[in-house]
Chain A
Amino acid sequence: MASPVAPYLEISQAIEEAGGEALRKCYQCGTCTGTCPWSSITEFNIRKLIRQGQFGFDGIEEFMWYCSTCNFCVSRCPRGVEIIDVVRAVRRVYSEGGLLPESLRVFVGSLSSRGNPWSGDPDKRNEWYNGEYPHFSEDTEYLYFTCCTVCYDPRNVRVARATAEILDRAGISWGLLGTDVNCCGESAGKVGDTALFERLKNNNEEIFKSNKVKKIIVNSPHCYYTFKKEYSGKYEVIHITELLADLIRDGKIVPKKDLSETKITYHDPCYLGRHSGIYDAPRDILRSIPGVELVEMEKSREQSMCCGGGGGGLWTERSKGERLSDLRMEEALGTGATVLATACPYCISMLEDSVKTMNADEKIKVKDITELILDSLE
């Protein structure tokens, strides 16, 4: 039985103080919900969440963990509301109040105690490389920073190995740091644990400073965004696709092996595309491989569909019918492509999962750009 409620403005104030002042600008037009990829498969309603935040209404805790911070709503919002900041602020208020959901506690705990979200042994961070790769020193030009996911996740380790091989063959000055670095901290910040994020960030920045790091190459667009926009900004951050595109253009890397009419479609990761504006470099790379026919999905570039892995989604179990990566896989299959290329370890994890649960192993393979390039160099 419904009864009238009064606004509980203390909650709105708490959200604003946690970084969500953008709440005020929203005029509830609904463009965000209309744009959000979750709207068609779940009950998640981002506009409603902001409304609940504006007045401190009940129900905000029910759906606030769905948002994968893909930035589609932000890019379309006519008032310029920084919606992701509001979501982070709401999550911060609740997680600081001890209300982090079960599914996310494991990875947050792991970040806190081991410096990576995969419960991996921190001393074994560099065990992925079975070759002799240079160690980073003051005179090294590029630091190759390995995302925790490419260090510890069995599928994504292949990405790290491919990247290292390519960097070696490109003849540039690069190196790796020791095992005292930790996760960039992005996921901690996105689920509202600001204190943990700060701790992880400070540790990394100390190490970068003492090693006089100037340029950082990353595989993960999440690391890319975080180092560029949320760290101190004292270094140049380069995504591996930007570097590869330049190397190919300058002839330092020459893709040789003809893939004989292979149809490849490219999935724009949210943090590389919408968040960072890099759409062309990966496509230039794919087009440089002989025998590749690049086909675009309808939801490509700025309109790319999120795989669901951001904002804590990578560690959250969703029931069938509520998975964005399944929808994305369907779209990829619809193009007739036999390879789904991408440039983000989170996307790879999510999409590989979907390949399995949809039994599409025979029809399509998920590959990172680095894996495709390494293949073509043989």
Chain B
Amino acid sequence: MSRIGVFVCHCGSNIAKTVRVDDVAEFARDLPDVVMAESYKFMCSTPGQELIQEKIKECNLDRVIVAACSPLMHEKTFRKVLENAGLNQYLLTIVNIREQCSWVIEDMDKATAKAKALVNGAVHRARLLDSLASRFVDVNSEVMIVGGGIAGIQAALELASTGKKVYLVERSPTIGGHMAQFDKTFPTLDCSACILTPKMDAVLQNPNIELMTSCEVTEVKGFVGNFDVTVKQKARYVDHDKCNGCLTCVEKCPAGKGLSEFDEGLGSRKAIYIPFPQSVPQKPVIDRETCIYFKKGKCRLCEKVCEQDAIDFEQEDTYHDVKVGAIIVATGYSLMDTKPLVQYGYGKYPGVYHSLEVERLFNSTGPTEGKVVMRNGEEPGSIAILHCIGSRDINYHEYCSRVCCMYALKFAHLFKEKTSADVYQLYIDMRCFGKGYEEFYNRVLAENVKFVRGKAARVTDVTGSPEEEGKLIVEVEDTLSSQFMRLPVDMVVLAPAMEPRADAVDVARIFNIGVDKDRFFREKHPKLDPLSTTTDGVFLAGTCQGPKDIPDTVAQAIGAAAEALTIVGKKQLELEAATVYVDPYVCCGCQNCVRVCTYSAPSFDIEKKVSVINEVLCKGCGLCAASCPTGAIIARHFTNDQFIGEMEGLMEF
């Protein structure tokens, strides 16, 4: 015989507006084994929690039901309430009468009827619940950060400063990410390299950070506190332990026609190279695709000039096992390819550029040494900057990419500073939301940049009059004056949408995290938990979670470091107790469970001829329980009886 207490939450008017909460409480009171039922305005608030604790003691409750918001929201909160009142936390059942009831049904009668049915289901289930023992597991105190851009770098520095060991894994030969490609950052116009490279250097010098460049994560096994990560070290063909970074090989390499990825294809690099002068580490790698030795079997000049004997053409990819307690994913973004938008002529007209290409033009270490010179060798006399190319567009990406309005203003300012060109901004809205952003907009207006309010419709080189000869024509309507315009310009700059990396979905699978509808990694809750994922111990930071600027990225990185510390800062972690176990008297030794489990939790005891579950590995999914032909496997907290009991309750009324 149980003593069940039912607590029905109003949630202000969120639930009470469509569910008659007092009726539900009254209904519950009449159910067998329910000794008390009450409603309260905000169950999760301090007085609400205290109410539950009081009643547990007063009425000697041994089962608690809270009918409120989704268990995904507050199950943990209320479990603590039970613990504090001396009751086992697994004797709690949450009934979702908000997200799946009051918020989706308008009719009060129907919503209340559903709420009652759900509560009845919970009562039937509650009677059959058992106390479960909490499980504790030792925690590995090291952290892996995947992605060496500003987010990864900042998070690494934060964690390292608390004394934790950090593995910073970066896929390309250097850390720095996209921020290293920028010239100046808005709105302060700080030189990007000047604020980034000290951090990059700090990473290199920090004894707690193990830098793993040209590395990729290929597999993640284990669970929070105890991840087992396989990292592939791609062959660099240069032994970084021997290399002293003199870069003589780069100087002498005769294969100079490779397209520099760092310069967005505008400049060239050698086959043996470092991506940019301030690369960290300052040790080169060889690109097989452009290396004369790999393609034709000749040359090997770098090997001849290297005094450290560091060149190793026989190098192969190697795999390393790294054990960590928490993981931060900070893999960054890609800029959308604008070639498919044929109306803007990117890739067709040499005078059309995208934003990262323009950053490289401005930058003094770029292909034009910081001079604004186009592909045809000339300085532009007129420039049009086109906003929202692929963003806010149902045909490509519905979202706003957040940073383009600001960097477009930055470009306008830099164009005015470095050239005497006419500059036009073609925008739909100006989004200047951050500190100093609106003021920066004012400043750029004062610099005589012309703002056309309208989204550019077309870029063409088909001219219609002598004044247009030799120019690119941008067709756009200025909606403020209802004037259709043909803007003759020398250079067109596109602001493409910020996209997730091309392999985001594959990477998500490796870390067992989700992606949202736009393929950015999915956070647990966009407002209250923006850095956690559905996999405990794996956190997010930066643009891989969604478009954002540098201040927000850095803030998230610091936040993710704090999140990681909530795991690795402890010696032990409490794990979910709802695992499975085998009743050896019922087990027939078929080993079905051993065959189906992804985590290898069941194993066969050859002597006793029955299966045994390793509870540390078990995740509690219940697959083996449903696969067991004799019903020998009991899934704690989700037993057959408990589930069928719940169904009885759900279908009773």
Contact = CB atoms under 8 A, between A and B. Distances in A.
**Do A and B touch, yes or no (CB under 8 Å, in the complex)?**
yes
Interface of A: 27-31, 33-35, 39-40, 45, 47-48, 75-80, 298, 302-303
Contacts of A31: 454-455, 457
Nearest to A46: B477
A29 B482 contact: no
Given A30-B454, A34-B454, A34-B456, A76 B343 contact: yes
Contacts of A47: 477, 479, 482
B342 interface: yes
Nearest to B479: A30
A298 B456 CA distance: 19
Given A30-B454, A31-B454, A45-B482, 4 more contacts: A29-B454, A31-B457, A35-B457, A40-B486
Nearest to B460: A298
A78 B387 CA distance: 13
B342 A28 contact: no
A39 B477 contact: yes
Contacts of A39: 477, 484
Interface string B376-398: 00000000000010001111000
B648 interface: no
A34 B476 contact: yes
B133 interface: no
Interface in B523-543: none
B229 to A, nearest CB: 41
A34 B395 contact: no
B484 A45 contact: yes
Given A34-B458, A78-B388, A29 B479 contact: yes
Given A30-B476, A48-B482, A35 B388 contact: no
B342, B343, B460, most chain A CB atoms within 10 A: B343
Nearest to A27: B428
Interface residues of B, number: 24
Interface of A is mostly: helix
Contacts of A35: 343, 457-458, 475
Contact of B478 (A27, A30, A298, A302): A30
Contact of B394 (A28, A34, A80): A80
5 contacts: A34-B484, A35-B457, A35-B458, A76-B395, A78-B393
B462 interface: yes
Given A34-B477, A39-B484, A76 B457 contact: yes
Given A28-B479, A34-B454, A298-B460, A40 B484 contact: yes
Interface string B333-357: 0000000001100000000000000
Given A39-B477, A40-B484, A78-B394, A30 B455 contact: yes
B350 to A, nearest CB: 17
A301 to B, nearest CB: 9
Given A35-B458, A298-B460, A303-B342, A45 B388 contact: no
B561 to A, nearest CB: 38
A45 B477 contact: yes
A298 B486 CA distance: 17
Nearest to B486: A40
Interface of B: 342-343, 388, 392-395, 428, 453-458, 460, 462, 475-479, 482, 484, 486
Contacts of B343: 35, 76, 303
Contacts of B395: 75-76, 78, 80
B232 to A, nearest CB: 40
Nearest to B474: A34
Q: Which residue, of A33, A35, A302, A303, has the highest number of chain B Cβ atoms within 10 A? A: A33
Nearest to A38: B484
A352 to B, nearest CB: 25
A45 B478 CA distance: 11
A27 B428 CA distance: 9
Nearest to A34: B457
Most chain B CB within 10 A, of A34, A35, A76, A302, is at A34
B484 A29 contact: no
A353 to B, nearest CB: 23
Contacts of B453: 30
Contacts of A298: 460, 462
A29 B428 contact: yes
A34 B482 contact: no
Contacts of A77: 394
Contacts of A75: 395
A32 B484 CA distance: 11
B457 A78 contact: no
Among B343, B479, B484, chain A packs the most CB atoms within 10 A around the CB of: B484
Contacts of B475: 34-35, 40
B477 A30 contact: yes
B563 to A, nearest CB: 36
Contacts of A29: 388, 428, 454-455, 479
7 closest Cβ pairs, A-B complex: A34-B457, A30-B454, A78-B393, A33-B477, A30-B477, A80-B394, A30-B479
Nearest to B392: A78
B457 to A, nearest CB: 3
A78 B457 CA distance: 11
B342 A79 contact: no
Contacts of A30: 428, 453-455, 457, 476-479
A27 B394 CA distance: 13
A306 to B, nearest CB: 15
A79 B393 CA distance: 6
B483 to A, nearest CB: 9
Contacts of A80: 394-395
A30 B454 CA distance: 5
Q: Which residue, B343, B455, B462, has most C-beta atoms of chain A within 10 A?
A: B455
Contacts of B482: 45, 47-48
Nearest to A30: B454
B55 to A, nearest CB: 50
Contacts of B394: 77-80
Nearest to A302: B342
